Amino acid sequence: MQFIDAINFSFPLLASTTDTADSSMVVAAVLLSLVVVYLASKVGGELSNRVGLPPVLGELVGGVIIGISVLHLLVFPEGGTDSSSSLIISFLQNTAGLSPQAADGVFRTQSEVISVLSELGVIILLFEIGLESNLKDLMAVGIQATIVAVVGVVAPFAAGTVGLMTLFGIGAVPAIFAGAALTATSIGITSKVLSELGRLNSKEGQIILGAAVIDDVLGIIVLAVVASLAKDGEVDVTKVIYLIISATTFLLGAILLGNVFNKTFVAIVDRLKTRGELVIPAFIFAFVMAYLAAVIQLEAILGAFAAGLVLEETDKRKELQKQVIPIADMLVPIFFVAVGAKTDLGVLNPAIPSNREGLVMASFLIVVAIIGKVITGLTVFGQPQINRLAIGVGMIPRGEVGLVFAGVGAASGALSKPLGAAIIMMVILTTFLAPPLLRFVFPETNTVATDSEQLILDGASAPSLTIETPQLLVSKLNDPSSLESGADSQDS
């Protein structure tokens, strides 16, 4: 499709031939990137699944292998990388006649497009998670989730900050930054693993999901506090109040308005007669919500999650879920592979002196990161049968959220290189450890079919949802007692 650029009718003399060539090369580069991303996600996901781990871990590792750490197939310019270190761009230069002068532009555009696609991927993921969740179930565990979230913010923050100051003699501001990075929880990774384990709708899953959402909002507030602290030496109280009010208004507003809107939505959808009559209105709603959430300085994914929750209340839920599955299958892997590809394992290399200093601090941060979240499970009250360990473990992965703190901290100049590297090591390890740990603390599926399992039974896209069944059967055969405890942990 080298045609598109020529479609404008205003005849930019000569400009259009170069535009045309570039545009065709951008599409070729994006197609090639998607092929590489999909190969990495499928090979990684399947291998991970074969050894009994959640597929998403394989997608992350697949991303690491094609990314900046190993093969350099998919790299991004934000890390200071230029087009000459992207193997995909070199490949295009050698096979498709991409000119060296055009390489930088094509590289930048291709990276931007893949980044936006990966962000659309996590927006669709959270929309799908919202569609699979139930607002009433989430509200029912609201207080427990809030306590888990607050403890999961306060405990690692306090332990991390105080520990760094006293044990390592770090200054207050950098220690606070590192402490803040410890507070994050990655909704994306946690919810995807829960969904893969078929545990999203268990009581544990709902508490984890609710707590992760609240944690995300708290994290945004904590980030605003520490960023203004690092910049001006004092806290921007106005901004903090603004964030608290806007976050609360948005989430409550979405839920209240949603109750009115979902009837309008069904009425509109029922009147539409052309293709996409369900999925397009749903995406208009989801993208408007995501846009609003992004604009009020919350996150786009929170808006998409809220939109999913609202539409879950409609009788279009089942049909919409089915239609969103292939779209999510296409876009979500781009997110996880891109997260992996952007992960530079170089910080883990002990041969580099600053890493060695960082490694000691990293070990401390990792211990705090794990213990500080695992103890949150102990705070859950009124649920005698609940798997407290699973809840704590579910809060462990810092994922992309933890990295924002590292990025903002580094940008503000508050973090030393070893401390910055230590934070990143902590984020990498908690992110990559959480999926197998979650798999371990949820050792068997529930016997009651969840929503997504129900889809297998009556859905068109059956095989795409049969996750881990062979391993689960094996683990059940090896450990017959797990069948009983399995029934216990699903008392929703």
CB nearer to its own copies: pick between 374 and 472: 472
Q: How far is the CB of 20 from its own copies (least distance, A)?
A: 7
- 466/475 Cα distance (integer angstroms): 16
Q: Which two tokens stand for residue 195?
A: 């969904």
Compute the chain's Rg from CA coordinates.
Answer: 23
- Count other C-beta atoms under 10 Å from residue 331's C-beta: 18
Query: In the numeric block, which tokens belong to residue 339?
Result: 């997260």
Q: Indicate the residue among 3 and 480 with the shorter CB distance to its own copies.
A: 3
How far apart CA 6 and CA 177 sit, in angstroms, is: 49
189, 126 in Cβ contact below 8 A? no
- Closest separation in Å from C-beta 381 to its own copies: 32
The answer to whether the CB of 110 falls within 8 A of the CB of 76 is: no
**Cα–Cα distance for residue pair 354/422, rounded to 1 Å:** 10
CB of 136 to its own copies, least distance (A): 26
Q: Min. distance of Cβ 101 from its own copies in angstroms?
A: 18
Taking the complex as a whole, the smallest distance from the CB of residue 139 to its own copies amounts, in Å, to 26
Cβ neighbours, 10 Å, residue 208: 33
Judged by beta carbon, residue 21 or residue 448, the one nearer its own copies is 21
Q: Please, what is the minimum distance in Å from the beta carbon of residue 225 to its own copies? A: 16
Query: Closest Cα partner for 131 from 293, 287, 355, 313?
Result: 313
Cβ 395 to its own copies shortest distance, Å: 18
Please state, in angstroms and rounded to a whole number, the distance separating the CA atoms of residues 283 and 307: 9
End-to-end CA distance of the chain: 52
CA distance 159 to 151: 12
Q: What is the 3-state secondary structure (H, E, C) of 3-61?
A: CHHHHCCCCCCCHHHHHHHHHHHHHHHHHHHHHHHHHHHHHHHHHHHHCCCCHHHHHHH
Cβ nearer to its own copies, comparing 38 with 168 = 38
CB of 459 to its own copies, least distance (A): 7
The minimum distance between CB 406 and its own copies, in angstroms, equals: 7
Non-local CB neighbours of 437 within 8 Å, separated by 6+ positions: 393, 396
The smaller minimum CB distance to its own copies, of residues 175 and 220, is found at 220
Compute the least distance from the CB of residue 378 to its own copies, in Å: 29
Backbone torsions φ then ψ of 86, nearest 5 degrees: -90, 115
Least distance in Å: CB of 172 to its own copies?
21
If the CB atoms of residues 146 and 323 are measured against its own copies, the closer one turns out to be 323
Q: 291 or 381: whose CB is closer to its own copies?
A: 291
Name which of 144 and 430 has its Cβ closer to its own copies: 430
Residues 6 or more apart in contact with residue 6 via CB below 8 angstroms: 16, 19, 20
Rounded-to-10 torsion of CA 48, 49, 54, 59: 50
Residue number, 1 or 267, with CB nearest to its own copies: 1
* Shortest reach from residue 255's CB to its own copies, in Å: 21
Q: What is the DSSP letter of 371?
A: H
Nearer to its own copies, 18 or 146 (CB): 18
DSSP string, 51-87: TTS-HHHHHHHHHHHHSTTTT-SS--GGGT--GGG-H
Q: Which residue's CB is nearer to its own copies, number 24 or number 376?
A: 24
The residue among 147 and 268 lying less far from its own copies, judged by its C-beta, is 268
